[in-house]
Homo-oligomer: A and B are copies of this chain.
Amino acid sequence: MNEIELIDTIKNIIGTEFIGDDCAYLKDLGIVITQDSLVENIHFKRDWCTPYQLGYKSIAVNISDILASGAEPKYITIALSLPKSVGSNFVEEFYKGASSALNGAKIVGGDITGSDKDIIVSVTAIGSTKGRNISSRANAKEGYIVITKGNHGSSALGLNELINNRNNSELIKEHLEPKLDINFANRLATSIIENFAMMDSSDGLADALFKIAEASNVKIISDYNKIPHLDIASYEQVMFGGEDYKLVAAIPEKYKDLFSDASIIGKVVKYDGTRLDVSGHKYSTISELNTFNHF
């Protein structure tokens, strides 16, 4: 059973009020919350990353969701499940890496337990919505432009280096220590007045564009040549690679000049049966995407 079927099962039991965006928006408390786990041999391999890098990435993937919601990163809890073979040095390095990815948030608690065999890291991040415009993937409107910043596909290139025992350290760093753009996130969340849509590209750029289009019941047309990426990255890597953690936003066109440092990679148009058109590559259902899916 895949993740989409599992999520449908869960929706049937607990309702859909808060299910949709990567963060849940808890209006009465003025916060957003997200929780993500990294599991050894599913999301990472001990041989491929240092404990510092694992700590960094565990926090970064959750802070990225907070930034994509438009909220301000505030607090983090970390639950570590560690096999007996793991010593205090691991924990120390892990926390140093975690501390370097906080982007202003504070680690305020968590849990350490044993584990039979694998390391499991589960992180919860809380963001404050005070003074911020909170995004939703359902907020894109016809006429909006789609913008992003930073190279797509580089994380996939870095992962390829690791898989093939090559050592381009800059590419590997894009995979193991993805940089977050808190400045870009802050500017979006504090300067746009209208509802806007934003996601990170954790599961791939195509996935983010498709999910925004689907949740907003619109179509997104994207010009592949406008998407920032390294020349060596393939279309597959750029569109489906995942784990780049770049922000992708659909915003009113009038803000274009405020974000002149970003790339305008597409526009939002009326839905016509196709959800996403990337320079002629058309996608109508999510299963047509070569989606990054850990399951």
| Nearest CB of chain B from residue A216's CB, rounded to whole Å | 20
Contact of A77 among B24, B38, B92, B294 (CB under 8 A): B24
B126 lies within 8 A of A33 (CB): yes
The 0/1 profile, CB within 8 Å of B marked 1, for residues 92-115 of chain A is 100110010000001111111111
* List of 9 A-B pairs having minimum Cβ-Cβ separation, nearest first: A122-B122, A24-B108, A18-B108, A24-B109, A124-B124, A35-B77, A13-B95, A37-B79, A42-B114
A290 within 8 A of B: no
| Nearest CB of chain B from residue A53's CB, rounded to whole Å | 16
- List B contacts of A163 (CB < 8 A): none
- CB within 8 Å of B: which of A217-275? none
A134 within 8 A of B: no
Q: List 6 A-B contacts (CB under 8 A).
A: A14-B95, A24-B109, A38-B113, A42-B113, A113-B295, A120-B120
Residue of B nearest to A112 (CB): B6
Contact of A120 among B6, B39, B77, B88 (CB under 8 A): B39
- List B contacts of A167 (CB < 8 A): none
Which A residues lie at the B interface, using CB under 8 A?
A: 1, 3, 5-7, 9-10, 12-14, 17-19, 23-24, 26, 28-31, 33-43, 74-75, 77-79, 81, 87-88, 91-92, 95-96, 99, 106-118, 120, 122, 124, 126, 128, 294-295
B39 lies within 8 A of A110 (CB): no
A29-B91 CB under 8 A given contacts A116-B40, A117-B116, A120-B39? no
CA distance A69 to B77 in the complex (A): 17
B81 lies within 8 A of A37 (CB): yes
- List B contacts of A6 (CB < 8 A): 88, 91, 112
A108 lies within 8 A of B294 (CB): no
B23 lies within 8 A of A92 (CB): no
- List B contacts of A19 (CB < 8 A): 108-109
A29 lies within 8 A of B128 (CB): yes
CA distance A91 to B81 in the complex (A): 21
- List B contacts of A5 (CB < 8 A): 88
Contact of A36 among B33, B111, B118 (CB under 8 A): B111
